[in-house]
Structure formats: structure tokens, C-alpha cells
Structure 1
Amino acid sequence: MLDIAKLSPLHIYILIHLRRANIDYAKSISKITKIDQQEIEKALKELEELGLIDRSHGSAIKRTAARFKLSHEVHKHHTYYCLTRLGEHTSRMLRDLLGDYLSSITGYDAALDIIEYLAKAECEHAGWLARVFSMKVSDVQSLLTKLLDLGLLSECKAKVLKKKHRKGKPKKETRTHHTYYRLSRLGEMMLRYIR
């Protein structure tokens, strides 16, 4: 049995993506996640070494096999990947174990709750999150730093946040005196596919 705590969030996303797409290639995944193609190719290679994905064989792919393709049949110009049996099993488990996975890699039980909160609130700072989740500000800052390092969060760069960008505390606008955080594209896609 594979220990999912050894997988990165990018690995997790690729497994979930391949479960939905059935078969796909690095450039396509790179366009969706907006992550550098070389990084995706490296992650695909690591997953292949773990036995979670396999290269697809043949010269053409039907749309029934590649669910995200629009044309009826695609001639292969890329290296396509699909899940192995172990990859299928692991991706099915992830839906129930995402909270445990995030807790194990960050060391905080509230990791998934904060990610889900940020998905709804869009931009928020550590002080407000500490108040909402009854945690110490230092613990929230540590958790946010870990999630930032994992690529699941990014910083909001705006000087003034409008009401539509900060739904957790509705005011007309907020001047950014703190560092505000929001979900990264990888975090959004991972959360969307898991739900």
C-alpha cells in the first residue's frame, strides 16, 4: 500500500486529473494548472516510477478514451499517460483522505478547513483566519506558510481589496495592512476535482 503523505499536492492533482480525463499529456495538464510544463513532466515521471501511472500505447486516441479532447480521434503527438490499477485505487481513496493528507504534510488539522474557507472568502489574512478558526495567529501563519510552500496558496498583491475579493468580512473595501492569502490555481483545481 502506498503512503500518500509522500506525494506532493501536484502529484495528488495529477492523479485526480487523470481519473477524470482518463488519459492526458503534460502540455495539456500544464495549460490547465498554469504550472511550467517541465515541472509537470517531472511529476509525471515520478508518478510513473511509483507505478501510479503508465504511458499509453498506440498511435491514435479516441475521444471516448481522452475525455477532455474535443475532436473525434487524436493522433498522438505527445506522450500520453493513464492511471494504473494502483493509481485508480489511490485516486479513489484521495476523496476521503484529503483532510488527513493535508494534516499529515502540514502538521495542522485545520488545513483543509482553511483551504475550503479561502475558496469561499477568496482573500483573507492570518489574523482573521485565527479568529474564525479559534487558533493562535502564530499557528495560522505557520500553516499558511506551509500551504504557500506547497503551492496551494498564493498572496493577494492588491493594495485595496474590494468587497467581491474579500467575502469573509463584507466591507466596501479593505486597505491591505496585512499579508492576504488566496488559493493558487493548483489549490483551486485540486479542491474542485475532489468535491
Structure 2
Amino acid sequence: MVSRSEIERLKLEADTIMTRYQEVEQALEQARNEDGEHWETEEIEMTLETPHGEEIDVALDLHANPARNAQARYDQVAELEAERERRQQIADQLDPLPADPVAYLICYHLDAVEGNYPKSIAGHLDAERSQVRALCKEMEQSGLLERVESGTVKQRRVKAKMADEVRQHHTYYRLSRDGDHLLRFLSEREGKVNVLRHLPDGKAIVQRLSRTGSDSPRTTAAEWEMEFEYVRHLYRALRHVGLLMQCDSETQSATDRTYYATTETGDDVLEAVEDRP
């Protein structure tokens, strides 16, 4: 999460630029009439006196006037503060979980088996091995997963060839006690409410289906110009949480074989999120 000091720094830069408007304008105009490396970076750096009488170094967009340089910082401050507010509203239980739909899917997969290794997990989830491997390591560090000795692992309810065979040369993971608690939290209403704050684009997906009816990941990805694999994993994660369900569609095509709609819980949770400040 971005620090409060970083936000305050951006505010101070913006306020200083506006306070020293004429000085900044003259420096920009002079730079535009001179040769130099600033034409490669399209920025100039200068030291200004803040409204508090202290010196501060700022980098200025060569092609923007002082007001636009300041406004760019104010806009960034607004975005960062909104993100901080969003993160602060998320219950502590979701803090260790990466805001990635594949991370959710890994947890639900490991809940169905006693242990598995990243390559196999990636195959079951149809996800990139490198992404799964990185997420497993991150969740191990945050305490949601734990490594287990391969000799103690026996997979269950996994529909794969040689599902009960343990491959000795892989790093196996399983849910830790904290991971179990996380999934229990996600089964509760408050957990589902916080998923829509935690999972990027999760709220937008539920809103879309709640207002327009069933849809497919492929159609959503095309209309929103997003990667299909990301959207597909997002739909699947929201289904596991209980906010979406698979359904049939009268307009179903050969390329769109999986459609989703909101559940009653999904509609209820969406209303709760929209009603809260």
C-alpha cells in the first residue's frame, strides 16, 4: 500500500508548483527554447521553495503548463487516496491474499486436495506455471500456505492421471491454518462483501451481470478489451466465492460455452457494497 508520506509529498509538489506558478512557467519556457537532454526525457528538474519556506525538487513535464503539471499530481493523489481507502476497508483476513483471481483459485484447489505442487496446480487451473509458482511463494510468505514433505502428501478428489501418485522432486503446498480461516471467512457474507473491494474488476463483473443478465468471459473480455485468461479466471474465482453461478444461455455460441449469472447472494452483496460509503 502506498504510504501517507508519498501522498503528502505529491500534494506538496502540486501546491508548490501553483504557488510558484510564474517561476515554473519561466523555467519551462526557457527549457523549450534551449537544446539539451531534457528533450530526450521530456522533463526538466528544478528546485522550488515550498509555501512553508523549505526547498523541494520537482520534475516537470516539458510540454505541460504549470497548472497541468500540478493537476497531474492532484489527480494522482486522488487515485492513491481512493486506493488507500479501499484497502483500509478490506477486512484483515484478506490482507495476506494477493489481489489476483488465480490466488483465489489456488486456495480453493488446495482446499480440495491435501497438497499439490505448482506445475500440477497450473494444469488443473489452466493457468501459467510461472504465475502459480510466484503466487504460491507469496502466499507461503504471507502465511496462507505451507510447504509439506512430498512423502506425506496424498492427493484426493483430483481428476487427473495418477492422481494419487506423489512426485518426489516437487515442492508441495497445502493450506495453512490461516488459509483455512480465510476460506471460512470467504464463505461468510462479510467475506463476500470484502471480495468485491479486494479483487480488482470483481465488483464491475458482478455489476455487469446483475444489470444485464448472463454473460460469458469471452464476451466480457472482448467488450472491455481485457485479456481473456484474466477475465475467465476472474469469473471462476467469483463463482467459487458464491457470487456467480454457471448457467445456460439462449444466445450461447460454439465459442462461448460457459455463461455465468449472479446468485442471489451476489446481488445482495453488490447492493451492500454500493450502499456503503
Quick check: TM above 0.5?
A: yes
Q: Deviations along 1:120-175, whole A, 9 cap, x unmatched? A: 222698xxxxxxxxxxxxxxxxxxxxxxxxxxxx622xxxxxxxxxxxxxxxxxxx
Structure label with greater radius of gyration: 2
Aligned residues: 143
Counterparts of 1:124 and 1:69, CA distance in 2? 26
2:127 is aligned to 35
1:12 is aligned to 104
Q: Deviations along 1:1-29, whole A, 9 cap, x unmatched? A: 94414531232222122112332221122
Instruction: Say whether residues 1:185 and 2:232 are aligned partners.
Output: yes
> Does the 8 Å CA contact 2:143/2:179 hold for their aligned counterparts?
yes
Q: Please give the secondary structure, in 1, of the residue aligned with 2:221.
A: strand
1:46 is aligned to 138
Q: Note the C-alpha offset of 1:38.
A: 0.9
Q: Note the C-alpha offset of 1:57.
A: 1.2
1:133 is aligned to none
Where relative contact order (Cα < 8 A, 6+ residues apart) is larger, the structure is 1
> Does the 8 Å CA contact 1:33/1:189 hold for their aligned counterparts?
no
Q: Which runs of 5+ in 2 are unaligned?
A: 1-90, 243-277
Instruction: Say whether residues 1:68 and 2:161 are aligned partners.
Output: no
2:25 is aligned to none
Counterparts of 1:49 and 1:185, CA distance in 2? 27
Counterparts of 1:18 and 1:119, CA distance in 2? 31
What is the letter of the counterpart of residue 186 of structure 1? H
Counterparts of 2:209 and 2:110, CA distance in 1? 23
Structure with higher strand content: 1
User: Which 4+ stretches in 1 moved above 3 angstroms?
Assistant: 69-73, 104-108, 115-119, 178-183
Counterparts of 1:124 and 1:38, CA distance in 2? 23
Counterparts of 2:153 and 2:172, CA distance in 1? 9
- Going from structure 1 to structure 2, the CA distance change for 1:74 and 1:113 (only over 3 Å counts) comes to same
Counterparts of 2:233 and 2:192, CA distance in 1? 14
Instruction: Say whether residues 1:155 and 2:217 are aligned partners.
Output: no
Q: Note the C-alpha offset of 1:91.
A: 1.4
Q: Note the C-alpha offset of 1:41.
A: 0.5
CA-atom RMSD in angstroms = 3.5
- Going from structure 1 to structure 2, the CA distance change for 1:114 and 1:101 (only over 3 Å counts) comes to same
Instruction: Say whether residues 1:99 and 2:193 are aligned partners.
Output: yes
Counterparts of 1:107 and 1:13, CA distance in 2? 16
What is the letter of the counterpart of residue 207 of structure 2? I
What is the letter of the counterpart of residue 233 of structure 2? L
TM-score normalised according to structure 2 size: 0.42
> Does the 8 Å CA contact 1:11/1:43 hold for their aligned counterparts?
yes
> Does the 8 Å CA contact 1:102/1:112 hold for their aligned counterparts?
no
Q: Please give the secondary structure, in 1, of the residue aligned with 2:173.
A: strand
- Going from structure 1 to structure 2, the CA distance change for 1:105 and 1:82 (only over 3 Å counts) comes to closer
Selected match of 1:59 from 145, 148, 151 = 151
1:114 is aligned to 207
Q: Please give the secondary structure, in 2, of the residue aligned with 1:35.
A: coil
Q: Please give the secondary structure, in 2, of the residue aligned with 1:39.
A: helix
> Does the 8 Å CA contact 2:122/2:132 hold for their aligned counterparts?
yes
What is the letter of the counterpart of residue 148 of structure 2? S
